[in-house]
Each structure stands twice: as structure tokens, then as C-alpha cells.
Amino acid sequence: MWKSNPDGGPERLVALADGVFAIAITLLVLDFYVPRGLDGAEYDDALHELIPNLGAYALTVLVLGAFWREHRRIFRLVRQIDGQVISLSILGLGVAALLPFPTKLIAEYGQEPTSVAAYAGAVAALGAAHLALLLLLAGRPWLRDGAAPPEGFRLFALDLAVTVLVFSLSVPLALAVGSAAMWLWLALAPVKLAIGLRAARAR
């Protein structure tokens, strides 16, 4: 186990995370652009070309919003942070800030296998950072004054691990079959629902 030296409360780290997630979501809309001076047909074409961008935007807002919520849930437990908590948090925030780039890739080159693989890899990496942070805190009760999630660490970790697993599996699948690998992401919905219902019963 790494040496843990408590280094104050989590308030500034939480504020930094809120800012990073907000900026990452804002960056998603910077590529939305319709040129001036278009006639009716050109205007309709320009709007039609924005549809993939809007789809990728909606997907990534959903992803970033879900991870921001999970980050807030994790840090509700934290009373003190240490160097490893800071390092894992910064790692995760770095991936969150990067997510607008693979979002642009799937918006503009969604049929390319590497675009889908890059997006899935980024989401899996963000989920892995959050999962590692949760497991670290589970093993360091002195950083949370013994606090635990209402549903328990195992169920919380399972919820995060399912996301990591599905997106990790879709990386090689995307390289093999292309954009069809994105259908695997839909498998998260019923699994997450089942875990959520089980967590509600456990509270």
C-alpha cells in the first residue's frame, strides 16, 4: 500500500472537478457552425451536416454528466485527501478534458473503426480512474471517517466496473467490426437499471 499522508479537505479538488467537467461539456459545442450567406438549400444541407455532431454531443453530455455525478457521489464520502487521491483525480479529470476530441472523431469520422475505438477507450479510461479512486478510498477508511456508500462499496464498484468492462470490450470489437460496436454500449442501460434497483433496495 502506498503511504497515505492526509493533505486537507476535498473542497478544492471537488471545485476543480466541477470546473473541468463544465469546460469539457462547453468545448463540445465549439464545432457547431453554420456559414453565413447560404441560400435555402445550402442552409438545409448545413443543418443536415450538423446531425452527427448533435448526436455525438448528446452522447458525450450523457457520459460526462454521469461521470460528474459519480465523482460527486465518491467525494461525498471523503473527509481528507492524500497524494494518491489527488493523483487519481487528476488522471480522471485529464481524461474528461480529453473527451471532446474523440467526440469530434465519432461526429466527423464515425464510420472509421479507430474513431469508435478511441472514444470507447477514453470512456473506459475515465471509468477506470473513478473505479480506482473508489477502491482506494474503500481501503483507506481514515480518509472518509469510516463513511460508506448507502448501497455499500461492492455494489458501487460494480456499477463503475460494468461501464469500464463494456467500453473496454468495445475497443477491440470496434477495430474488428467498425461502428457497429457502438450497439454494445446500449447493453449498459438494462444492466445499470438492474444495479440501480438493487442499490435502492440495499439502502
Report pLDDT for 29: 86
Give the C-alpha separation, 69 to 197, whole Å. Answer: 17
Report pLDDT for 43: 80
What average pLDDT does the segment 111-121 reach?
A: 94
Residue 2 clears pLDDT 70, i.e. is over it: no
Identity of the amino acid at 66: A
Which strand (E) or helix (H) includes residue 81? none
Residue 132 clears pLDDT 80, i.e. is over it: yes
Nine-digit cell at 25?
Answer: 461539456
- pLDDT band per the 50, 70, 90 thresholds, residue 166: very high
Identity of the amino acid at 74: I
Which strand (E) or helix (H) includes residue 120? helix 113-138
Give the C-alpha separation, 99 to 95, whole Å. Answer: 6
Q: What pTM was computed for the model?
A: 0.90
If you average pLDDT over each of 5-14, 48-57, 121-130, which comes out highest?
121-130
| 86-120 core/surface letters (b: 16 or more CB in 10 A; e: else) | eebbebbbebbeebbebbbbbbeebeebebbbbbb
Give the C-alpha separation, 33 to 125, whole Å. Answer: 30
Residue 42 clears pLDDT 90, i.e. is over it: no
Percent of the chain with pLDDT over 70: 98
CA angle 88, 91, 93 (to 5 degrees): 110
3-state secondary structure of 16: helix
Percent of the chain with pLDDT over 90: 63
What average pLDDT does the segment 134-161 reach?
A: 92
3-state secondary structure of 7: coil
Average pLDDT for the chain: 90
Residue 93: CA atoms inside 13 Å, Cβ hemisphere, count? 19
Least confident among 24-28, 47-51, 103-107, 196-200: 47-51
Residue 36 clears pLDDT 90, i.e. is over it: no
What average pLDDT does the segment 100-106 reach?
A: 94
Q: Who contacts 143 (Cβ-Cβ below 8 Å, separation ≥6)?
A: 4, 6, 78, 79, 80, 81, 82, 85, 137
Residue 1 clears pLDDT 50, i.e. is over it: no
Give, in order, the Cα–Cα distances in Å from 95 to each of 4, 91, 167. 24, 7, 14
